[in-house]
A and B are shown apart, each in its own frame.
Chain A
């Protein structure tokens, strides 16, 4: 899986949780999931579990803690899918 493909899927997963729809349209690797996209911090767990389901991977707590931006999520997913 390429980073571009992963990014598209990541944004699609985060979309329903993002309160800032405008920021989502222009989101890039540096976009912070919580502060920039307006995602409730409690929902970050749901997003990570959705990543696990979508990409058929297991994300441990330490890895989950490192996911702050879209780029972090994509990097971890690409690494875990072995691409």
Chain B
């Protein structure tokens, strides 16, 4: 039943792409005035990293605003390509309490390929989510998860208080014979000082991406921790390069 439910959601999401992408890009580009430093360059790089080779993909971005996943989906590929290549339109795992109380948001997150997460929720819900995530990766889908677990309080990649959920999922699915690739994405609005609900109007975004292969010789929780640390360290390094190349743009703690 869960398999069928996911298949239906996937189908409806793919069919709705012109509507969902059109609406979200109208909001971001038309209403909010968001733009990119080099969108074509970022897309070319992503395509060269993940485009040619099929297979499951875990996308791990840094996290500063409530619409990071929306901005990243916009960045990954134009909508007409997402229609033909479903894995270029990744699944997401937003926190349920952030949107579930608003019917219209429930609708858009459903056709936006979102699987709700309940932090510290019942174990049964967590197991169901894990089952769905494994299914999606088995089907060679792409999944976007924020490895920090929440928006960073400091405005920098949080190398201290990050979650180990992404590491656990990667370790679990590898034990079942899957080999998902991991794409780090570092997104930053040039005026983004710390965490916020939305980026400010007319924000200009920088995006970098890097394919990595985080692994651990340990097992269980230690493996989850090792893998998560490698992902966070990778994002922190991308951030260091960003600030090195943009001197004087130190983020402030909000």
Interface residue ranges, A against B (CB under 8 Å): 34, 40-43, 45-46, 48-49, 58-61, 64-65
Contact = CB atoms under 8 A, between A and B. Distances in A.
A83 to B, nearest CB: 23
Residue of A45, A59, A64 with most chain B CB atoms under a 10 A cut-off:
A45
B174 to A, nearest CB: 15
Given A60-B220, A61-B220, A41 B120 contact: yes
A42 B162 contact: yes
Interface in B204-243: 220-222, 224-225
A45 B161 contact: no
Given A34-B120, A41-B120, A42-B149, A49 B162 contact: no
Which 9 A/B pairs are nearest by Cβ-Cβ distance?
A42-B163, A45-B164, A45-B221, A65-B123, A41-B120, A40-B161, A42-B149, A49-B221, A42-B161
Contacts of B225: 45-46, 49
Interface of B: 119-120, 123, 149, 161-164, 220-222, 224-225
Contacts, number: 27
19 contacts: A40-B161, A41-B119, A41-B120, A41-B163, A42-B161, A42-B162, A42-B163, A45-B164, A45-B221, A45-B224, A46-B225, A48-B221, A49-B221, A49-B225, A58-B220, A59-B221, A60-B220, A61-B220, A64-B221
Contacts of B162: 42
Contacts of A42: 149, 161-164
B129 to A, nearest CB: 14
A34 to B, nearest CB: 6
Given A34-B120, A46-B225, 6 more contacts: A41-B119, A42-B149, A42-B162, A42-B164, A45-B221, A64-B221
Contacts of A64: 221
A61 B224 CA distance: 11
Among A41, A42, A46, max chain B CB count under 10 A is at A42
A34 B121 CA distance: 12
Nearest to B172: A61
B222 to A, nearest CB: 6
Contacts of A61: 220-221
A51 B128 CA distance: 28
A59 B224 CA distance: 14
A64 B162 CA distance: 18
A60 to B, nearest CB: 7
Contacts of B222: 49
Nearest to A49: B221
A50 to B, nearest CB: 11
